[in-house]
Amino acid sequence: MHTRSLLRLYGLVVFLSAAMLLVLEIVAGRLLAPYIGVSLYTWTSIIGVILAGLSLGHWVGGKMADRGAGHLAAGLVLLATAVATLGILPLLLLVGELVQERGLGLLGASFVFVLALFFLPAAAIGVISPLLTTLALKLDPRAGSVVGRMHALSATGSIVGTFATGYWLVQWLGTRAIVVGVAAVLALLALPFLAHSRAGIAALLGALALSITLSLATWQQRGFASPCDVESSYYCLRVVDETNESGVIHARSMIIDHMMHSTNSRQDPELILTPYAHAMDTLVRTHFPTTDGLSWLFGGGGAYTLPRAVVHRDPAASVTVSEIDPAVSALARDALYLDPAGMTIVHGDVRNLLRRAAPASYDVIVADAFHDIGIPWHLTTREFNDLVHAALKPGGLYLANVIDVFPGNRLMQSMVRTLAERFAHVNVWIERPPEEETRLTFVISASDTPPGDEILTSRAGLERTWFNIGDYVNDQARENDAPVLTDDHAPVERLLARMLLTRRGN
């Protein structure tokens, strides 16, 4: 092969291998989401472990280059990377079972997942750039130009891999197909370096046999089958059937990433099975003398449980839902009995909608965008609360559901203290205080009018009771000097650390 052709080959391999690494990095978040969700901690583990692997690979690649490694070594490394990449899928199932059995906290679980699945592929890809750069320098004496070109190609490949995966590949191909595709690309990149060597051909045949074995093992464990019904730009979404004792489907639930969001009754749109949504509906029924013709704004649609119930019982109601993910709305319509007639659905962030809202537009604003570790911090701050207060009519009601640990609910304390700067009455509702520390779903209510009774009893549907622990949380907030959350400083992950990093959050 001519010098110019070899230099082009080296550049192409560096470009594509860097792109493949960033494809895997973006896909890592989606692969882990059904097991541990996606948060600042999971992305920190993903980025940190992959950078550690890449750094080790660069060091090893430099050592190999100094010892005279050539085409055969480059081909073998690419082939090993392809096999390691294909091995991500069976390892995902194996590590997933291990993490669930051990009951690790989020930090430990995310680190174990990423280390087991992605460290080796990242390290192997890291070998390629210094090795091929050294080979290129033997063909072109312009050291500055060669090194600069290789770095530029690597960086450009990373950029292309990032944008292609985030904007296109995940939505069109799905994560499992992407992992298999990355393995195939890396194997194809190895061919030019191995095709003219007996050892290389033997390695290719061995890798092919190993890949077939891994594929069969993965197929038997359903590793190629995505747990998601829909892989959207934001979430892994799936729907599960809820059956009665006779096995008849009476409801369906939406699962977002790894947590059940809400459940919709098939026969009765007004039957609210999910406790926190039922509490919100009861709070509205208790707060207003009549609920006929109220104007509602929902920040987050999910399964559309409460908007669906409101529209069915009160056709005169004005219901606007701001759902950031169009795929969530489509799945609710197609699989969760949602009839969107009678409501206005806006696909975007609720905070942007509130910025455009006229003053005193809504009787009720509901923030239903908090799910497990997925905390949109910009919906917790003083500035967001100002937008909510301005958009509410006099005597209006703001509701939000948040998952935290009881009784050490540090995020709840900060949210209550922050809301108290704008609203005269801020209360926190739970079904019943547990006997030991555990995670709970809290419902916050905020208004300029008092809540009435301290004990809330359901007005319709299932018989449930909720207790107001707002005074208790307020006392905790003062005692712990809970920070007020602002756009400049909203450390929600730190405040949720007791839930995210220990078994109490499981």
Mean pLDDT, residues 142-155 taken together: 91
d(CA 422, CA 382): 8
Could you read off the pLDDT of 297-308 as tens digits, one per residue?
999 999 999 999
User: Quick check: 36 and 43 in contact, CB under 8 A?
Assistant: no
Q: Which residues contact 424 (CB under 8 A, 6 or more apart)?
A: 447, 448, 449
Residue 285 has pLDDT above 60, yes or no: yes
402, 451, 410, 394: which is closest to 427 by C-alpha?
Answer: 451
> What pLDDT score was predicted for residue 393?
96
Which pair of structure tokens corresponds to residue 392?
């509410």
- Locate 493 and state its tokens: 């992950």
Domains of the chain, CATH where assigned: 3-227 (1.20.1250), 252-505 (3.40.50.150)
Q: Is the pLDDT of residue 87 over 60?
A: yes
**Buried b / exposed e along 110-135 (16+ C-beta atoms within 10 A):** bbbbbbbbbbbbbbbbbbbbbbbbbb
Q: Taking 60 as the threshold, does the pLDDT of residue 228 lie above it? A: yes
- Centroid of chain to Cα 467: 31
First-residue to last-residue Cα distance in the chain: 58
In this predicted structure, what is the pLDDT of residue 42? Answer: 82
Torsion of CA 118, 119, 121, 122, to 10 degrees: 110
- One-letter amino acid identity for 354? L
Number of continuous H segments (helices) and E segments (strands) in the chain: 18, 13
- Between 223 and 423, name the one with better pLDDT: 423
Is the sign of the CA dihedral 199, 204, 207, 208 positive or negative?
A: negative
- Alpha-carbon distance of 258 to 13, in angstroms, equals 36
Residues 223-256 as b or e (16 or more Cβ within 10 Å = b):
beebbbbbbbebbbbbbeeeeeeeeeebbbbbbb
Neighbouring C-beta atoms of residue 475, cutoff 10 Å: 12
Question: Cβ distance 271 to 263 under 8 Å?
Answer: no
Q: What's the whole-model pTM score?
A: 0.81
CA dist 253 and 273 (Å) reads: 10
Residue 276: the pLDDT is 93
Q: What integer pLDDT is reported at residue 506 of this predicted model?
A: 47
Query: What's the token pair of residue 58?
Result: 């660069």
Strands (DSSP E) contained in 303-380 are 318-322, 343-346, 362-367
What is the mean predicted confidence (pLDDT) over 173-178?
85
Q: Return d(Cα 366, Cα 272) in angstroms, integer.
A: 16
Q: What is the number of alpha carbons within 13 Å of residue 222 lying toward its C-beta?
A: 4
